[in-house]
Structure 1
C-alpha cells in the first residue's frame, strides 16, 4: 500500500503556515492525514512553524539518511524527516510545507500532488513587511523572485486574499476530497 505526498507551496507571506495550520486543526483525529514538521537551519521566529536545527546537525541527518526530502532556500537548509516516508508507504497522505523551487525540480509522480497558495502582490508586500523578518531589500528580492514561479504547475490553487478560514477550508476540502481520493486510488493500484 502506498499513500501520497502533498506539497503546499507559495511565496513567503502568502500564509502557507496559517492555511496549513487551519487544515491541521480541522483534521485533528484523522490518522490517515499527517502534517510533516520541517527542520530548518533557522531559529524559530514569530509566525514560523518548524523545528530548528543547526547546520552541522542537518548535515549529519542528511548523510545518515534521516531526511527523505531536503532543499535550500533563502540561505537556509530545509528537510523532512524520513519517518514521513514511512507514513506514505503505510498509505497515509503526508502534507509538506514545501519550496516552489524544490517542487518544480521534481519529476512528475502519481504519488505527488502540489497545492499552490497565492495572494496578490500588494497584499504579499504588506504581509512581508509586517512580519518583520526581512530587510526592505530582502522583501523586494522575495517579491521579484515570485515572477519565476507564476506558472508553477499545481493540482490545486488556493488564493489566500480573504478570510483565513476560507483558505483553510479549501485546503481541508482538497485533502479530504481530491487528494484523499487520489491517495485511496493510489493505494488500490499498488496493492
Structure 2
C-alpha cells in the first residue's frame, strides 16, 4: 500500500513543510486529499491549498478558483503565485500566501504535477512528494466513468503517463487501487509524520 523513499521524519517541531500530491488522472488525488482534510479538520498547523486554474468553476473535480487566461497572466505578473505551470491545456497556480504559511510553520498540502516538481522544489526546499498510484485497469475505469474522454483518448493518456518520478525527492507512494478508506488512512498517516502531536 505505502512505500517511502528518502528521509521522511517528524517535522512538527520545525519550520513548515510542503507536501505535493501527484499521480496520473484517475488515481484519486482529489478524493484522497478531501478524505485527509476531513480527518485533519480543525488543526491550525495544516493547510490544504486551493489552486487557481484556467478552468470553469462548474467543470467538476477539485474545488478551485477559476480564472480566465488574462486574469491568470495578470496574477502571474503581479507575483500572486509561488508556483505556476501548464498541463493538459490548462494553467495552474499555487498562491504566494503558501510561502508565508510555510514560514509560519504550517504543513501545506498541494495538488501538483510531476512535470512541475522542479518548480515546487525551488520554491519550497523542505518538500515531500506523495505519489498516488493505481493499477492501469482501475485508472481506465475511473476515467471512463467521468465521461470526459473517449476510450481511445483514455488509453492514449494512460500510455503517455509515466509512473516514475525523475529527481532527488523525498517520496511516499500510496496505492489507491483498493478502498478509499485504506488509501485515505495511509495518506493521513503520512501527513501526520509532519504534524506536532495535538
Q: TM-score, normalised by structure 2?
A: 0.83
Q: CA offsets, 1:102-136, max 9 Å, x none?
A: 11565587501100000000110111111112233
Equivalence for 2:4: none
Decide which of 150, 156, 159 is 1:141's aligned counterpart. 156
Give the number of equivalent residue pairs.
179
Indicate whether 1:168 and 2:181 are aligned: no
1:47 is displaced (CA, Å) by: 3.0
RMSD over aligned Cα atoms: 2.0
Indicate whether 1:2 and 2:2 are aligned: no
1:18 is displaced (CA, Å) by: 0.2
Unaligned runs of 5+ residues in structure 1 are 182-191
Q: TM-score, normalised by structure 1?
A: 0.86
Distance 1:155 1:19 in 2: 17
Decide which of 86, 89, 93 is 1:75's aligned counterpart. 89
Of 9-18 and 163-172, the range deviating more from structure 2 = 163-172
Indicate whether 1:36 and 2:49 are aligned: yes
- The DSSP-based 3-state class of the residue aligned with 1:20 is helix
Unaligned runs of 5+ residues in structure 2 are 1-13
Assess, with a 3 A threshold, how the Cα gap between structure 1 residues 80 and 105 changes in structure 2: closer, same or farther.
closer
Indicate whether 1:125 and 2:140 are aligned: yes
Dislocated runs of 4+, deviation >4 Å = 104-110, 151-154
Distance 1:151 1:82 in 2: 25
